[in-house]
Structure 1
């Protein structure tokens, strides 16, 4: 088993139908800054925007980021294989298939991204602020290891906001040592849904202030059709640490397994999987995550992990230069796209003080800047390339 070469969750990438609408939501409502505007490293017809997190005095810098790829046609499906290899990406963008572009979560996809606030007061403040902006919010729910509310981004992707309290260690001395049943009052059918819905912050919150600003990732949750198979993959092969086996609170008969990337169990270092036996596969598309990235220290560590994965029989992509990091993709046993990545380096083409201020292009694409900017401005549907 790998000895914690993986340092944490680096990023999560979603698919959006309209990046401007997404940018307004993350910037104006959630208060997150844009740290990069660019195009996909496989195809310049795919604009991308990346959001980061504000840093607060006395708190450690957080490196997580949320990226959105725009797939805007109304009646073209997103490619089944995703945007993971250069040739297949270019071919898929040039030759789209007619159908529903919207994604559907299921086995082999992400379920939600959880963002982090320190305490429950902050959670209630978010519920009030989001509700006042016309965003439907459910919760706050007691998840036994944290409290959480849920909302959707403009395309329908599920976003959770979760607290760091009370933490994972209060119900067992050795984390992951056995199955821990959840209190009945936390489970679906056992909680008072009307009481949960009624609880909120009493005053409006027109600005996102430091006391409840989003600090970074809390965890990422995906769906597994076989919890034991997923456990074997992420523990014995990828090298994560199983820290919790418990109930899935929102569906009877489901399980919820938690995996950590570091020894501190810090927010942003945890992956979780809902175990839903025999659950139907999901489908990539707008309103769904495309993949998440786990971070390693540098290029050398990435190369070593790439070789190790191949020796273990895990199918991997080539190591790719994604402009701001290097990465390779792989899939979990249900087919969910994952990546290993070096840390993001967003300051290679912009000063830290003005990140996200302009459309950044690699030098090889500068000659095409005018055409790329025009394409982004008008957002035409894909046009098959004549061969």
Structure 2
């Protein structure tokens, strides 16, 4: 029998078509430290970049494969609709809206989703991103000890026909925000929202395979019709941080996700140790799920398996972490390679685009 429940996300991996541009956006505009600069171990001619908090803590990590020739991807069944990053307060969220808008990034919102407030925008490759506030949380319309037991109808004031879109567009921070301040720093993965064609099958899978529990059944507040369900690490009392997976139900749709630029490649959940990871592998295989052998990714070990709708999932160990080959104060400074690629370092470095030198942390990059 495997562990009872995953503690949450380890990382989310996306596709970039231009590594320097991705660094300028995520490090310099969003203020996320670049904690590891390496290559795709399965394709060493391309960058694999890692962003997160300064330590690269599980639950804060965003990684990017660089696929320069990739065509634009598309969201759909078996893919991710958007990735949400957390921020502490609505005031800090408005600072983000101003900062992004001043950098000529188109931003929509803030929208009151009830459980949190949201703004939306896209990265340079088209990946849909959200910045969501930490609260007020899932218990505003259900008892904390009975989450997910009722189908919640959205408040009509939150639906498009009732929202004051003109007012929403005007809401922003009054002053320019040239740097990311401590009060507005992003806190990691708030939630990941995917698309599936069968919410019942998906829910049964995530509950059996990963121990996630249903914490909210509601409707998409942007159309008032599409079912929108939330799962998380939930013990009947508290919802764990960095653990909310939400799915939009598209029953009968033939619109499947298309891999490519601006799309999520896979999402990874945490295992605290190699022993726990092996227990998860045994557990998944016991459910008849096809699981890869353990892969050594140097900074963690990984196993991969598919969700029923085709979304690629991973369970990654917390350790050994990103300081295994760099001092904690120098993470992301130099190109790091696994031992078996060191003999090819000169050739690999010659083939990679140089990444721009860091600007002052959190400074708006030059447009």
| TM-score exceeds 0.5 | yes
What residue number does 2:241 align with? 267
State the shift of 1:258 in Å: 0.8
Matched residues, number: 348
Matched-pair contact (CA < 8 Å) for 1:7–1:262: no
The more displaced of 38-47 and 333-342 is: 38-47
Equivalences for residues 45-64 of structure 1 within 5 A: 45-54=45-54, 63-64=59-60
Equivalences for residues 149-160 of structure 1 within 5 A: 149-160=119-130
What residue number does 1:225 align with? 197
Deviations 1:17-44 (A, max 9, x none): 0011000011111111100000112121
Query: Is 1:193 paired with 2:165?
Result: yes
State the shift of 1:226 in Å: 1.1
Equivalences for residues 1-387 of structure 1 within 5 A: 4-54=4-54, 63-73=59-69, 101-173=71-143, 174-263=146-235, 264-279=238-253, 280-344=255-319, 345-377=321-353
State the shift of 1:237 in Å: 2.9
Q: Does the residue aligned with 2:44 lie in a helix, a strand or coil?
A: coil
Q: Does the residue aligned with 1:330 lie in a helix, a strand or coil?
A: strand
Deviations 1:225-281 (A, max 9, x none): 111111111112331111111111123421111111254324312111111222311
Gaps of 5+ in 2: 356-367
1:378–1:145 CA distance, 2 compared to 1 (3 A) = closer
Structure 1 distance, partners of 2:302, 2:58, is 19
Structure 2 distance, partners of 1:227, 1:285, is 25
Matched-pair contact (CA < 8 Å) for 2:11–2:58: no
**What value does the CA root-mean-square deviation take over the aligned residues?**
1.7
The more displaced of 44-53 and 367-376 is: 44-53
Structure 2 distance, partners of 1:192, 1:276, is 27
Q: Does the residue aligned with 1:23 lie in a helix, a strand or coil?
A: helix
Q: Does the residue aligned with 2:349 lie in a helix, a strand or coil?
A: helix
Matched-pair contact (CA < 8 Å) for 1:145–1:165: yes
Q: Does the residue aligned with 1:317 lie in a helix, a strand or coil?
A: coil
Structure 1 distance, partners of 2:214, 2:65, is 31
Structure 2 distance, partners of 1:374, 1:42, is 18
Structure 2 distance, partners of 1:370, 1:157, is 32
Structure 2 distance, partners of 1:63, 1:166, is 20
Moved >3 Å (runs of 4+) = 1-5
Matched-pair contact (CA < 8 Å) for 2:10–2:60: yes
Matched-pair contact (CA < 8 Å) for 2:11–2:63: yes
The more displaced of 306-315 and 258-267 is: 258-267
Structure 1 distance, partners of 2:212, 2:325, is 33
Q: When the two structures are superposed, what TM-score results if normalisation uses the length of structure 2?
A: 0.91
Structure 1 distance, partners of 2:2, 2:89, is 33
Matched-pair contact (CA < 8 Å) for 1:8–1:262: no
State the shift of 1:5 in Å: 3.6
